[in-house]
Structure 1
Amino acid sequence: MSIWWSLHLRREAASVPLARRLLLGTMETAGVDPEISYDLSLALSEACANAVEHGGAAGAGRVTEEYRVTAYLDGEKCRIEVADCGPGFPAAPVPVVRRAAPEAESGRGLRLIEELSDHVHFGNRSGRGGAVVSFDKIVKWRTDAPLLTT
């Protein structure tokens, strides 16, 4: 069995824990191992925080105030995508994830997403602009998982 959901969220700090709680609730209900759920929820929080902070684009006298989160749970894999309407990543074949200075208060989010996931893609939306962060992780199921496929 597979499930997916998509959210369109306002670029407000309060949207980050909302997305995280929805993911955790979905994973718990489906029967995903809590450790995997926690890793993915932390990575999602970082991706959402980046969209909130950097994901707005001024144009035609307005600022884009939304971003999108889509999650797919299918068999042995969970994929999450966060897309915004900001300036996107710098034009390079693969965006460079730089290490933050130890005393820095920000700048660790993309690196953390890489560490918590099995596969990560940082890219830009074609046509409309904006950044897209997608990441996936192999799912471990609880033995009593209601959605466990055999």
Structure 2
Amino acid sequence: MSIWWSLHLRREAASVPLARRLLLGTMESAGVDPDVSYDLSLALTEACANAVEHGGRTEPGELPAEYRVTAYLDGEKCRIEVADSGPGFPGGPVPAVRRPAPEAECGRGLRLIEELADHVHFGNRSGRGGAVVSFDKIIKWRDGALLKVS
């Protein structure tokens, strides 16, 4: 058994906790270990916050742009992808993620995602533009978990 869901969210700060709560609820219902759920939900929060902040410009009076969150929970792995319609990452199809200065007040989100997930990919969407952040993590299950693969 597996779970897959996709959300199309407005690029507004209020959308970030909605995505996080849906992920946490799904993982709790499936029986994922709470530590793994927390790590993935924090990484998702950072990816969504980046999409909200950098995912496109809107003119005054326009509706906010949207971004998409997709999550797959299958077998022993959870994979999450956040894609926006902004200018994308600078530096080509696979951008270099720079370390923020110690005194910087922002810029730590992508590094945090790298620390929390087992595999991370930062890239740009082809065609329409925009950034894509995808990451996955090996799942640990609680005893009696609904989706646990034996």
> TM-score scaled to structure 1, two decimals?
0.94
Contact between 1:83 and 1:131, CA under 8 Å: does it hold in 2?
yes
In the alignment, the residues of structure 2 paired with residue 56 and residue 63 of structure 1 have an alpha-carbon distance, to the nearest angstrom, of: 12
In the TM superposition, what whole-angstrom CA distance separates every residue of 1:103-150 from its partner, at most 9, and x where no partner exists? 211100000000000000001111110000000000001012112122
Structure 1 residue 93 displacement after superposition: 5.2
User: 2:8 corresponds to which residue?
Assistant: 8
In the alignment, the residues of structure 2 paired with residue 39 and residue 87 of structure 1 have an alpha-carbon distance, to the nearest angstrom, of: 28
User: 1:48 corresponds to which residue?
Assistant: 48
User: 2:106 corresponds to which residue?
Assistant: 106
The residue type paired with residue 41 of structure 2 is S
In the alignment, the residues of structure 2 paired with residue 32 and residue 14 of structure 1 have an alpha-carbon distance, to the nearest angstrom, of: 26
Structure 1 residue 100 displacement after superposition: 1.1
> Gapped runs of 5+ residues in structure 1?
none
The residue type paired with residue 137 of structure 1 is K
Let me know the Cα RMSD of the aligned residues: 1.6
In the alignment, the residues of structure 2 paired with residue 124 and residue 92 of structure 1 have an alpha-carbon distance, to the nearest angstrom, of: 8
User: 1:70 corresponds to which residue?
Assistant: 70
Contact between 1:11 and 1:65, CA under 8 Å: does it hold in 2?
yes
In the TM superposition, what whole-angstrom CA distance separates every residue of 1:8-37 from its partner, at most 9, and x where no partner exists? 001111111110010000000000000000
Contact between 2:46 and 2:109, CA under 8 Å: does it hold in 1?
yes
In the alignment, the residues of structure 2 paired with residue 89 and residue 123 of structure 1 have an alpha-carbon distance, to the nearest angstrom, of: 7
In the TM superposition, what whole-angstrom CA distance separates every residue of 1:32-81 from its partner, at most 9, and x where no partner exists? 0000000000000000000000001469xx67610000000010000000
User: 1:26 corresponds to which residue?
Assistant: 26
> Gapped runs of 5+ residues in structure 2?
none
Contact between 1:57 and 1:85, CA under 8 Å: does it hold in 2?
no
The residue type paired with residue 16 of structure 2 is V
Structure 1 residue 91 displacement after superposition: 3.2
Contact between 2:30 and 2:145, CA under 8 Å: does it hold in 1?
yes
Aligned residue pair count? 149
Closer/same/farther in 2, CA of residues 6 and 134 from structure 1, 3 Å limit: same
> TM-score scaled to structure 2, two decimals?
0.94
- The answer on 1:82 being equivalent to 2:82 is yes
In the alignment, the residues of structure 2 paired with residue 5 and residue 108 of structure 1 have an alpha-carbon distance, to the nearest angstrom, of: 27
